[in-house]
């Protein structure tokens, strides 16, 4: 399976840079606030754990090749990391599907950063043949629900691991 590679993206005052292992140190600070894990569970990653995660993610695909992994660090002027956007790609028959995720550090929340950054990724992926977009959002996560709605996704009846599947595109079962 051939998956696209993340490319630098710009939208307004935001820059989205493809993830590098070297980003772990700066991102550990962005991801340190425990409030970020209220809806997803877990806790803030240690620097060593984050480096290991990034080493895996920058490979760009699962070991069996059935998923493509794209990750961007979201940067605001003057070159400060504010969060990330990720997309997991899969082919479902003739339809390429992207599951999107976004996290913005508490210091940057409420400024539309997640919507603009995830929107830039969605547009970039759509221009590369992705036909359906998904996001899995905890029902109590009002901020992520607003982002998904602004991206044109809508909730479905499907709940996986306590999260509602939101979808956009022609192939939207569940």
Residue 173 has pLDDT above 50, yes or no: no
Which domains can be identified in the chain, with CATH numbers? 9-168 (3.40.630.30)
Residue 170 has pLDDT above 60, yes or no: no
Q: What percent of the chain has pLDDT over 70?
A: 96
- pLDDT in the model for residue 78: 87
Query: DSSP code of 161?
Result: T
Residue whose entry in the numeric block shows the structure tokens 């695909």 = 61
Average pLDDT, the chain: 95
95-104/132-137 β-pairing: parallel
pLDDT tens for each residue of 37-78: 999 989 999 999 999 999 999 999 999 999 999 999 999 988
Distance CA(63)–CA(32), nearest Å, equals 29
How far, rounded to the nearest angstrom, does the alpha carbon of residue 161 sit from its chain's CA centroid? 18
Beta partners for 89?
A: 68, 98
Residue whose entry in the numeric block shows the structure tokens 């790609």 = 89
Is the Cα dihedral 125, 87, 20, 24 positive or negative?
positive
| Burial state string for 48-71 with b = 16 or more CB within 10 A and e = fewer than 16 | eebbebbeebbebbeeeeebbbbb
Structure confidence at residue 172 as a pLDDT band (50, 70, 90): very low
Beta partners for 99?
A: 88, 134
| Averaged pLDDT for residues 121-148 | 97
- pLDDT in the model for residue 131: 93
Q: Answer left, alpha or beta for residue 130, where phi above 0 means left and psi between -120 and 50 means alpha.
A: beta
pTM of the model: 0.94
Q: Give the list of residues 6+ apart from residue 110 with CB closer than 8 angstroms, or none.
A: none
Structure confidence at residue 2 as a pLDDT band (50, 70, 90): confident
pLDDT tens for each residue of 98-110: 999 999 999 999 9
- Distance linking the first and last C-alpha atoms of the chain: 26
């Amino acid at each position: 399976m051939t998956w696209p590679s993340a490319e630098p993206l710009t939208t307004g005052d935001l820059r989205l840079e493809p993830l590098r292992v070297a980003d772990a140190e700066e991102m550990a600070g962005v991801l340190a606030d425990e409030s970020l894990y209220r809806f997803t569970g877990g806790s803030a990653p240690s620097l060593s754990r984050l480096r290991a995660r990034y080493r895996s993610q920058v490979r760009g695909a699962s070991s069996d090749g059935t998923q493509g992994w794209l990750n961007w660090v979201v940067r605001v002027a003057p070159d400060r990391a504010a969060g990330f956007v990720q997309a997991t790609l899969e082919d479902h028959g003739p339809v390429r599907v992207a599951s999107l995720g976004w996290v913005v550090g508490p210091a940057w929340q409420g400024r539309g950063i997640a919507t603009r950054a995830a929107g830039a990724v969605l547009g970039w992926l759509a221009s590369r043949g992705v036909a359906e977009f998904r996001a899995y959002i905890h029902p109590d996560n009002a901020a992520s629900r607003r982002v998904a709605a602004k991206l044109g996704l809508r909730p479905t009846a499907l709940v996986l691991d306590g999260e509602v599947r939101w979808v956009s595109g022609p192939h939207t079962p569940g």
